[in-house]
Structure 1
Amino acid sequence: MKDDTVKLGLKPTGPATERPISIAIVAMGGQGGGVLTGWIVNLAETHGWVAQSTSVPGVAQRTGATIYYVEMMRPGDGGQKPVLAQMPTPGDVDVVIASEFMEAGRSILRGIVTPDRTTLIASSHRSLAISEKMAPGDSIANNGAVSDAIGVVAKQEIVFDMNAMAVKNGSVISSAMFGSLAASGTLPFAREAYYDVIRKGGKGIDASIRAFDAAFDRTVNGPEMPQLEAPETPVATLPDSLRDKRANALLTRIRSELPEQAHAMAYLGLQKVVDFQDAAYGDEYLDILRNLTEADRAANGEAQGFAFTASAAKYLANAMAYDDVIRVARIKTQSARRQRVAEEVGLKTGQVLNTTEFMHPRMEEAASTLPVGLANWLKSRKSLYAWLDRRINKGRRIQTYRLTGFLPLHFVGALKGTRRMSLRHKTEVAHRDAWLADAAQALAQNYDLGVAMLTFRRLIKGYSDTHVRGHSKFEKVMQTTKSIAGRDDAAEWAQRLLTSAIKDASSKDLDGTIMTIESFSGT
């Protein structure tokens, strides 16, 4: 058979065993992954190497990171240039740099971290993914699983809080990761060469070099000896008295009307509801707690350490300080919030801070802030309601610290005085009273079940769609629990239901737990 293959006279750049150095960088938006990639490429090319970089963007809003990939290799003796890959290949990556701890775990799952080859450089801090934030309760991924895996699958591991180190030195995490890469010994370049690359950038040079040096030294020398920490102080202690007469009267009520075991939590809860509304609202909070304490005593709560009252002090405060449009507007215009943001971004003297709020209000939220009668009248005019909704229900970008953005938000926040007349407040009170009545009724028969029902409030938070989803899960969990309230193990099943609802944003696990309960309860 005739061979028609066209053969080109291409000579290899080196021995067949020679291979490029490959580096994968996994970073989220704003963490300088592109800058770090550019530094590495510049470093290699400055020394006469051939370097190539590619990037695959992740999805926005912290559901995925961008993967940057760099390969570098010396050209052949005759000047031939190597052919370099565009994506990391499992089992063939020399260095993986992860800007966040869970991204290190995802790199391990992708198979690009291997024990025979890979140096893993990762920051130990967390930037929570959207899936972790969306869950009604604590759905933060387990760091321990990643820590255990790193010790097995990486040839060399360099892991510490690079983000904190960078911030401490007035820079960003890319500078710290560059320093750890230099100290790792995986690249054949002198330390001074890294400085030259940073200086070429022309921006934030001194801060970048400080962060680089700090990370370099930390990588070489290891962590400093830990400081002995002072004993933790109690979460909250009741002061002897308060200067404000109304506040002092509320403090006196806590001492005289509630069991000592609930004092600390009630004091924190009281502060929360008073800040949310006013001192009169604080009186209402203590009135409800006093009634729940009586039910607790009747159920022999003293023998249980008044766990029901202490739990009610916490979750009742959360229920009374619900997230409505007024509260959100107040929080966004408070000076304390601006100060916190300034500290987080490292605002320096002479710099101007501005924030852009991404908001998508619905007519439902707007109507809920109106007095009950007016809101119901407006909802009954369906054509008018729909007309208003078309004009309100749209995404907006509001710059908080400009007059045109600040004034509307400040005005909405100032509506706090009318809140208790609003439709939203009436709805929240009705739901709150029904929830507490169910818990108190269960308490009389099964103390642990009554306490468990109080914790169901964890499912409700936020506003708009988040609030609606939370209410839906709450109703599922509450109704299922009430259907098995007569069982001795009802409290245990109530906690399983709550755990399923908290951990699973899609409700599949919750529905599965409900089906299991229905299978043995006959409901």
Structure 2
Amino acid sequence: MNVPVAPTSIALSRARPISVAVLAMGGQGGGVLVDWIVALAERRGWFAQSTSVPGVAQRTGATVYYIEIIAPDASKPDRHPVLSLMPAPGRVDIVIGAELMEAGRAILRGLVSPDRTLLIGSSHRSLAVIEKTAPGDGTADAAQVYEAANVAANRFIAFDMAEIADAAGSVVSSVLFGALAGSGALPFAIEDFEATIRASGVGVDASLRAFSAGRERAAAALKQDPKIKPTAKPPLAKRFPKLELTGHAGYDALVARARQLPAGLHGIVAAGLQRVVDFQDVAYGREYLDRLEALPRDATGLLQAYAKYLAVAMAYDDVIRVADLKTRAGRFDRVRREVRAGDDQILAITEFFHPRIEEMAGLLPPWLGEKLERSERLARLVDRGRKLRTTAPSSFLLLYCVAGLRRFRRGTLRHARETRHLDDWTQRIRKFAARDVALATAVCEARRLVGGYSDTHSRGESKFGKVMLASERLAGRPDAAEWVQRLTKVALKDIDGAELDGALRTVETLFEDA
């Protein structure tokens, strides 16, 4: 039986609200920015509604906030507004990205349309996981976002808001709020924006400084060329330390010895010495110089590359090194500054460890470590992973003791393997240097394939080994160095190794007619 439904007595407004989408990562104050926009609208007697869809961890996504605001209809006060909970593609008036690639994600989601959308984004970068884990330089091309934004948006405002926030002692949300005010997209006075910040009662002075700077930059940006170009900062010049005496007799002896090398090497050698001595001890620094001095001194480019990658190879990442870095006092101070923890606040840091059996066995003497590596039972036990709070005394003491194993590092399985690997690499460089300095330099620079920790290190070492075998095959060809450089570039961009294998097959075709 059909039951008649009584018509609703609620009169609905047909007025269209102003829609705002905000994309922000944790720590950028996206929630604060949304609260400010809602409070700003309500301060002027408008209706406002906000929702959010959380992103996932480890920088693979951001939280998407959505706001709709609408002024009451004075001519029809009985009409109630209809507000949506989610943004609809092509129906968003203002899109705010707290980071450049988040602005790009908004474009991909269809939230930005050329007929109506104002796109505001900070031009700074917070690298995504896929960018950080790429073997080489996996940084996405910012110019593509600018190009897409200039086409997809009705208006586009972009500048480095993180830099302004840092200078003002605030967070990027304050600058974004200022950019929104400077855009004139909302029908509210600047005094209303500032009053909203003051009403929050937290970090008011710093927030107002950042807000003012953001508002001025946005207003100036709208007066310039509407097609915004990426303003990439010029690369920073490499700054090397100086070969200076420190007052430590052992280290000063290394400095005096290093000064006998060509003057053009002093900067990179100083950096290398600091790295290997910090990693192990002064005796390890002497070993660094021994290896460096074994190469011919007339090949400056080769010596430069070898000095750099030798230090990286000798200061490899092992469990001892990780424990050492995580328990240094400077790290705790740095984290406190980054999270802006007050002197009266307690900071807790939880570390996530997932070492493989190879890393744990690497701490043992070679004969014992190799035996334990073959234990499947122990591998399953280790593979569970651990969470340790280094701000807790017990966990800190555990890692501190592991870091103290540095004095025994030379007797470990991991060090024996790294030394053998280093000897093979050095021997190949010296052999090639006698006949082809360019090839020796290319082989030296290929060492950047090896780095990182755990699986990352294993994958890099595997690709490095393939390139080294190819270098032996190519030796004697006039274009050998170019081929090794090409293989290295392919390997850096190739995560699973498939492209490198294809390039190696191409190398083999060079010898089919020989």
TM-score (norm 2): 0.87
Report if the CA contact (8 A) 1:362-1:394 is conserved. no
User: CA, structure 1 residues 342+182, in 2 after alignment: closer, same or farther (shift >3 Å)?
Assistant: same
Report if the CA contact (8 A) 2:10-2:79 is conserved. no
Q: Which amino acid aligns with 1:39?
A: W
The DSSP-based 3-state class of the residue aligned with 1:445 is coil
- The 1-side partners of 2:266 and 2:201 are apart by 57
Instruction: Name the structure 2 match of 1:403.
Output: 393
Instruction: Name the structure 1 match of 2:295.
Output: 292
- The 1-side partners of 2:431 and 2:353 are apart by 41
Instruction: Map 1:250-269; keep pairs closer than 5 Å.
Output: 250-256=254-260, 258-269=261-272
The DSSP-based 3-state class of the residue aligned with 2:49 is strand
Report if the CA contact (8 A) 2:10-2:80 is conserved. no
Unaligned runs of 5+ in 2: 1-5, 223-233
Instruction: Name the structure 1 match of 2:284.
Output: 281
- After TM superposition, the structure 1 stretch with the greater mean CA deviation from structure 2, 510-519 or 305-314, is 510-519
Instruction: Name the structure 1 match of 2:231.
Output: none
Instruction: Map 1:285-364; keep pairs closer than 5 Å.
Output: 285-293=288-296, 302=298, 305-364=299-358
The DSSP-based 3-state class of the residue aligned with 2:259 is helix
The DSSP-based 3-state class of the residue aligned with 2:65 is strand
Q: How many equivalent residue pairs?
A: 496
Query: Does residue 243 of structure 1 match 2:247?
Result: yes
C-alpha displacement of 1:389 = 3.7
- After TM superposition, the structure 1 stretch with the greater mean CA deviation from structure 2, 169-178 or 205-214, is 205-214
Instruction: Map 1:75-224; keep pairs closer than 5 Å.
Output: 75-76=72-73, 77-220=76-219
Report if the CA contact (8 A) 2:362-2:413 is conserved. yes
Report if the CA contact (8 A) 1:101-1:124 is conserved. yes
Task: Summarize deviations over 1:419-473 as a string: whole Å, max 9, x none.
Answer: 0000000010111111222222233332211111111111111211111121122
Instruction: Map 1:383-402; keep pairs closer than 5 Å.
Output: 385-402=375-392
Query: Does residue 13 of structure 1 match 2:3?
Result: no
- The 2-side partners of 1:264 and 1:508 are apart by 38
Instruction: Name the structure 1 match of 2:227.
Output: none
C-alpha displacement of 1:310 = 1.4
C-alpha displacement of 1:387 = 4.1
Instruction: Name the structure 1 match of 2:61.
Output: 64
C-alpha displacement of 1:185 = 0.6
Q: Which amino acid aligns with 1:238?
A: L
- The 2-side partners of 1:47 and 1:508 are apart by 60
C-alpha displacement of 1:284 = 0.9
The DSSP-based 3-state class of the residue aligned with 1:351 is coil
Instruction: Name the structure 2 match of 1:3.
Output: none
- The 1-side partners of 2:454 and 2:165 are apart by 37
Task: Summarize deviations over 1:181-217 as a string: whole Å, max 9, x none.
Answer: 1221101122233344434545444443343233223
C-alpha displacement of 1:321 = 0.3
- The 2-side partners of 1:147 and 1:316 are apart by 39
User: CA, structure 1 residues 146+387, in 2 after alignment: closer, same or farther (shift >3 Å)?
Assistant: same
- The 2-side partners of 1:394 and 1:128 are apart by 28
Q: Which amino acid aligns with 2:281?
A: D
Q: Which amino acid aligns with 2:36?
A: W
Q: Which amino acid aligns with 1:215?
A: G
Report if the CA contact (8 A) 1:484-1:521 is conserved. no
- The 2-side partners of 1:87 and 1:517 are apart by 54
Q: Which amino acid aligns with 1:37?
A: V
Unaligned runs of 5+ in 1: 1-5, 224-228
C-alpha displacement of 1:28 = 1.2
Report if the CA contact (8 A) 1:53-1:68 is conserved. yes
C-alpha displacement of 1:148 = 4.1
Q: Which amino acid aligns with 1:214?
A: A
- After TM superposition, the structure 1 stretch with the greater mean CA deviation from structure 2, 20-29 or 68-77, is 68-77
Report if the CA contact (8 A) 1:175-1:211 is conserved. yes
Among candidates 480, 488, 500, match of residue 490 of structure 1:
480
Report if the CA contact (8 A) 2:13-2:82 is conserved. no
User: CA, structure 1 residues 40+79, in 2 after alignment: closer, same or farther (shift >3 Å)?
Assistant: farther
Report if the CA contact (8 A) 2:11-2:80 is conserved. no
- The 1-side partners of 2:53 and 2:486 are apart by 40
Q: Which amino acid aligns with 1:400?
A: T
The DSSP-based 3-state class of the residue aligned with 1:113 is coil
User: CA, structure 1 residues 53+350, in 2 after alignment: closer, same or farther (shift >3 Å)?
Assistant: closer
User: CA, structure 1 residues 522+130, in 2 after alignment: closer, same or farther (shift >3 Å)?
Assistant: farther
The DSSP-based 3-state class of the residue aligned with 1:53 is strand
User: CA, structure 1 residues 75+235, in 2 after alignment: closer, same or farther (shift >3 Å)?
Assistant: same
Report if the CA contact (8 A) 1:136-1:458 is conserved. no
Among candidates 353, 364, 367, match of residue 370 of structure 1:
364
Instruction: Map 1:443-454; keep pairs closer than 5 Å.
Output: 443-454=433-444
Report if the CA contact (8 A) 2:100-2:121 is conserved. yes
Task: Summarize deviations over 1:366-418 as a string: whole Å, max 9, x none.
Answer: 22111223323444xx5xx4444444332322222221121111101111100
